[in-house]
Amino acid sequence: MRFTPALVTILVLLAACAAEAPYDPRLDYEELEHMGIVTSPPPRGGQYAPIERDTVNRGRYLVELLGCGACHTDGAFEGAPDMDRLLAGSQTGIAYTNPLEYARPGVVYPANITPDEETGIGLWSDIEIANAIRSGTGRHARGRIATMPWPGYAKLEQDDLDAIVAYLRSIPAVSHAVPAEVLPGHEARKPFVYFGVYRSRD
């Protein structure tokens, strides 16, 4: 059988149509309207000495400025923060390995940073909280907290760090457990985002 240029072209086109389309990982994700800044809850009612009130207010200002609520508040990744759970952690995680390269990335779920003793930081010492902010270490200095942007906070002045800790101690405790970290290669059973823009589809 003689193959003419036209026949070769037709055969190439048919083969291309028959071949399976390459995997497009974007089909597994949806684009979100992420909240960059989320308001911080006011301190609990009570009497503060003027210097303590100023410290707590500065801490609240810094927590908003640093965008802590954008990760640590349920719904913020989806553009609808849960105002009853401000800073109480997120059921939507953050992939810390590339889900566009690996189907099952590592995922961490932003922690509850209210002073709840069971699900938050109520039992953490001031130093443990400060270390988590400034150097990304978990409680008792157990490794780095994946996705925590601590390099940007490493040069915080001690007074500012103390103000953040004082503010986090002052807010209402919210009982809200977040999912455990998912290690790379394991299936995440809760949604997660990548770069805060794309969320895994349920």
Residue 114 domain flag: yes
Residue 10 domain flag: no
- Please compute the mean of the pLDDT values over residues 16-32 and round it to a whole number: 60
Q: Name the most confidently modeled range: 23-32, 47-56, 71-80, 163-172.
A: 163-172
pLDDT value at 62 more than 90: yes
Residue 37 domain flag: yes
Looking at residue 141, its pLDDT comes to 59
- The Cα–Cα gap between 153 and 133 comes to 7
Q: Tokens 């930081």 — which residue? A: 121
Total number of domains in the chain: 1
Looking at residue 8, its pLDDT comes to 45
Q: Name the most confidently modeled range: 31-35, 85-89, 96-100, 143-147.
A: 85-89
pLDDT value at 113 more than 50: yes
**Residues of the domain holding 146:** 29-200
Residue 2 domain flag: no
Segment 26-39, tens digit of pLDDT: 666 666 665 556 77
Q: Pick the residue with more confidence: 118 or 151?
A: 118
Residue 23 domain flag: no
pLDDT value at 7 more than 50: no
Dihedrals phi, psi of 30, to nearest 5 degrees: -120, 145
Residue 125 domain flag: yes
- The Cα–Cα gap between 188 and 65 comes to 31
b/e burial code for range 153-181 (CB count within 10 A of at least 16 → b): beebeeebbbbbbbbbbbbebbebebbee
Residue 11 domain flag: no
